[in-house]
Structure 1
Amino acid sequence: MGTHVIKMPDIGEGIAEVELSQWHVKVGDLVVEDQVLADVMTDKAMVDIPSPVHGKVIALGGQPGEVMAVGSVLISIEVEGAGNLKESAAPAPVAVKEPAAPKAEAVVETKPAAAAPRSAAVCQGPMVAREANERPLASPAVRKHALDLGIQLRLVRGSGPAGRVLHEDLDAYLAQGQSNAQAPVAAAYAQRNDEEQIQVIGMRRKIAQRMQDATQRAAHFSYVEEIDVTAIEELRAHLNEKHGASRGKLTLLPFLVRALVVALRDFPQMNARYDDEAQVITRLGAVHVGVATQSDVGLMVPVVRHAEARSLWDSAAEISRLANAARNGKASRDELSGSSITLTSLGALGGIVSTPVLNLPEVAIVGVNKIVERPMVVKGQVVIRKMMNLSSSFDHRVVDGMDAALFIQAIRGLLEQPATLFVE
């Protein structure tokens, strides 16, 4: 038997140290080639580190949250044969994911690119016994789902990498009748004194730092405008009825992207990045729209590149493709970076008003609130209209209040008279 030592890889871009974000294995685990061992994070990206060998984990080189120098020992694996005596660096990362720069909710974190093999024990059933103080691996979304269902995660067998509990594991647990739905009703009113401490590391720490940086550096101001979207919703329904089967269904998002593209022709200062250290504003001709996308681990912001050159259906297809890639942890670094203006929406949960945080170095972010039907006075008559607010934020160091208001009014005019979206 020998030892194969993997060193912290050189991610590139002159980076000398990275943060160890998460282990997917522990000492004693058997691993196979290409199994994800750990997640590490630079200032710009989350990287999955795969195993180049089959073997048994005998030592881990750090703890989650620890900043490690490139070239330091990451993990040691016992292998058949002489092993890797020269202590090579880790193989090329299998996936690189970039966190969206600060925005109202932008969060970027992805699932492992390669799942650890499931042992026979894992596949035998959904229930497992853990120590009372043992914290099973699970994403924040899975933890919330378990809490909502009244399930104790420590009782659920995880089928994901390193025993991570997945949504389907909760479903399997419930299917076998193990949920606390069978517990006495009074248990729902029992006193609770438990506490949980969650270390802010990895992607969440980067997002926290960037959000704080954005609010401290940029002079945020928000502007809210009400828009009558009755006409554009009628157009959307008509296009879906006529072309939905052949071209795909349209949501409101591609119309909003088109409205941004057209409005930016008259307000190029909104489609810009501000380097406050160099004191340089860069206005872009290309419109690269970041679209906030919800995933199990938070919001990611994939980028619809060159939106100015896309039709409605092209934009819709690209938004759908990027959203699926982000949710499945398959979005590449390039797909998660380089936006020039951001569109953020919580759909039906959008509320009435929001105050999105800028995605530095961008200078504008357009927030979409939910659509509601309300009585409105139109030409002296009370009628029911579909209304929606746009809650947008701007960097006051670069964007004047009047220009921001005129920009949003331009978007309003385009959406309320949807034919103008396509008049050249």
Structure 2
Amino acid sequence: MARFTFKLPDIGEGISEAEIVAWHVAVGDRVEEDQSLADMMTDKATVEMESPVAGVVVEIAGAVGDQVSIGAPLVVIETEGEGEVASPAAEPETLEAENPGVEEVAAKPSPPRGEGLGEGGEPRREAGLGETPAPHPSPLPGGEREPASHTAHSPVLASPAVRARAKDLNVDLAAIRVPEGERIRHADLDAYLRYNAGQGYHAPHAARAREDEQVRVIGMRRRIAENMAASKRNIPHFTYVDEIDVTALEDMRADLNAHRGERPKLTLLPLLIVAMCRTLPDFPMLNARYDDEAGVVTRTGRVHVGMATQTDAGLTVPVIRDAQDRNVWQLATEIARLAGAARANKLTPQELGGGTITVTSLGPLGGIATTPVINRPEVAIIGPNKIVERPVFRGDDIVRAKLMNLSISCDHRVVDGWDAASYVQALKTYLETPVLLFAD
């Protein structure tokens, strides 16, 4: 068996070393030619290193986070044959960087001289050893290679990044001619597109530029802008997020909806509001309004829940008054009524003011976590996020569970982080043991 030492090539940015940010192989792994070995990060980009040979990985340079000098061994691969082989000097090649749409100059090792396939699949030898070298395509201005078709027997060599880009552009890589045994690069793909631009080629699904337009910020949009700006300007926000297992809650909600009769269909929101009303008496600093000009915090005894609602005119926050006196079905009815009035622009001033705490939800859009902006002069806002199914441990068993992240943003002038976290833990108790929502 032979050993091939793949040395970190010159990435072409004048750097002396690069950081290992991810390993895609480990010692003992079997790798194929062109398989990804590692991701190396420079100051400008993350570059994927690919194996130029097939074999078994016997050594790697270090752990994630380690620096590797240019020209130093990165991976040692045991291959067929005898002796030690080092990767040759690498030729810079354009690769896609970590950020979409950005290209960085990176190096890929060229195949060792004398290797590769000629016509009919026979080994190709270097010129001067009894063989005529394969003709190179005539260069275009700027050093580009003339795009043309591959021969029937030529293999199509390209990095995964080039293949993915060609697939997105609906380009057959076999139509791009490069010197035999060399890989198709991004530059070759670019040249092919330019060469065919005058022959009716158009990239599919190309985005079209829109005309610029100016939109006056007026009406509801202006009010939202002013309120949000005042909230962020005056309130030192902090957000706490915790994960809640809502498997039992969702099962109970499904059972309630299956036997609801003429009553409205339950969403998560009325159940969450019941849990809020059950827990807020122990956390009065959250159910409050802060008059920062007077320097007075009013901790309210009744719970008036603002319900952030998206309408055609923008975000509106109607208020469910005296939520603590309503059961889950009454809350569902009021939520539907207020949402309908908001979308029809028929809310009264009384229905838009006087909230003591707000709930904002993106519904099925959800997201992993949110950092909602407080509805001033309130001091807290709660944001349930999307429910997802994931495996979790229950004792020694792995089971399917429905999990939801719950966010809470608070005014740090009035609410301490400990209080916010403690409140979410209290909410979590009710939401993970939903029978408590209906217990006296």
> Normalising to structure 2: TM-score of the pair?
0.53
Which of these residues, 316, 321, 333, is aligned with residue 317 of structure 1?
A: 333
Q: How large is the RMSD of aligned CA atoms in angstroms?
A: 1.6
Letter in 1 for 2:223: K
Q: Relative to 1, partners in 2 of residues 1:316 and 1:308: Cα closer, same or farther, differing over 3 Å?
A: same
- Larger C-alpha radius of gyration, 1 or 2? 2
Q: Relative to 1, partners in 2 of residues 1:382 and 1:186: Cα closer, same or farther, differing over 3 Å?
A: closer
In the alignment, what sits opposite 2:86?
none
Which of these residues, 193, 203, 208, is aligned with residue 225 of structure 2?
A: 208
**CA apart distance, 1:360:** 0.7
Letter in 1 for 2:255: H
Mapped to 1, the partners of 2:302 and 2:422 lie a distance apart of 21
In the alignment, what sits opposite 1:109?
none
Letter in 2 for 1:364: A
Task: Map 1:60-139 onto structure 2 (within 5 A).
Answer: none
Task: Map 1:211-222 onto structure 2 (within 5 A).
Answer: 211-222=228-239
**CA apart distance, 1:238:** 0.8
Q: Relative to 1, partners in 2 of residues 1:278 and 1:254: Cα closer, same or farther, differing over 3 Å?
A: same
Q: Relative to 1, partners in 2 of residues 1:260 and 1:197: Cα closer, same or farther, differing over 3 Å?
A: same
Asked whether 1:195 is paired with 2:212, we answer: yes
Structure 2: runs of 5 or more not aligned: 1-201
**CA apart distance, 1:203:** 2.2
Mapped to 2, the partners of 1:219 and 1:227 lie a distance apart of 26
Aligned partners of 2:369 and 2:385 also within 8 Å: yes
Which of these residues, 245, 258, 261, is aligned with residue 277 of structure 2?
A: 261
**CA apart distance, 1:193:** 5.5
Mapped to 1, the partners of 2:225 and 2:341 lie a distance apart of 24
Tell me the percent identity: 56
Asked whether 1:364 is paired with 2:380, we answer: yes
Q: Relative to 1, partners in 2 of residues 1:206 and 1:299: Cα closer, same or farther, differing over 3 Å?
A: closer
| Partner SS for 2:261 | helix
Aligned partners of 2:305 and 2:319 also within 8 Å: yes
**CA apart distance, 1:314:** 0.4
In the alignment, what sits opposite 1:12?
none
In the alignment, what sits opposite 2:258?
241
Q: Relative to 1, partners in 2 of residues 1:193 and 1:316: Cα closer, same or farther, differing over 3 Å?
A: closer
Mapped to 2, the partners of 1:322 and 1:210 lie a distance apart of 21
Asked whether 1:272 is paired with 2:279, we answer: no
**CA apart distance, 1:328:** 1.1
**CA apart distance, 1:189:** 3.2
**CA apart distance, 1:396:** 0.4
In the alignment, what sits opposite 1:397?
413
Q: Deviations over 1:67-110 (max 9, x none)?
A: xxxxxxxxxxxxxxxxxxxxxxxxxxxxxxxxxxxxxxxxxxxx
In the alignment, what sits opposite 2:21?
none
| Partner SS for 2:240 | strand
> Normalising to structure 1: TM-score of the pair?
0.55
Letter in 2 for 1:382: I
**CA apart distance, 1:423:** 2.4
In the alignment, what sits opposite 1:281?
297
Letter in 2 for 1:225: D
Structure 1: runs of 5 or more not aligned: 1-184
Which protein, 1 or 2, shows the higher relative CO under an 8 Å CA cutoff with sep ≥ 6? 1
Which of these residues, 327, 345, 348, is aligned with residue 332 of structure 1?
A: 348
Asked whether 1:227 is paired with 2:244, we answer: yes
Mapped to 2, the partners of 1:274 and 1:402 lie a distance apart of 19
Mapped to 1, the partners of 2:269 and 2:207 lie a distance apart of 45
| Partner SS for 2:435 | helix
| Partner SS for 1:411 | helix
In the alignment, what sits opposite 1:306?
322
Mapped to 1, the partners of 2:263 and 2:213 lie a distance apart of 48
Q: Deviations over 1:103-157 (max 9, x none)?
A: xxxxxxxxxxxxxxxxxxxxxxxxxxxxxxxxxxxxxxxxxxxxxxxxxxxxxxx
Aligned partners of 2:221 and 2:313 also within 8 Å: no
**CA apart distance, 1:422:** 2.3
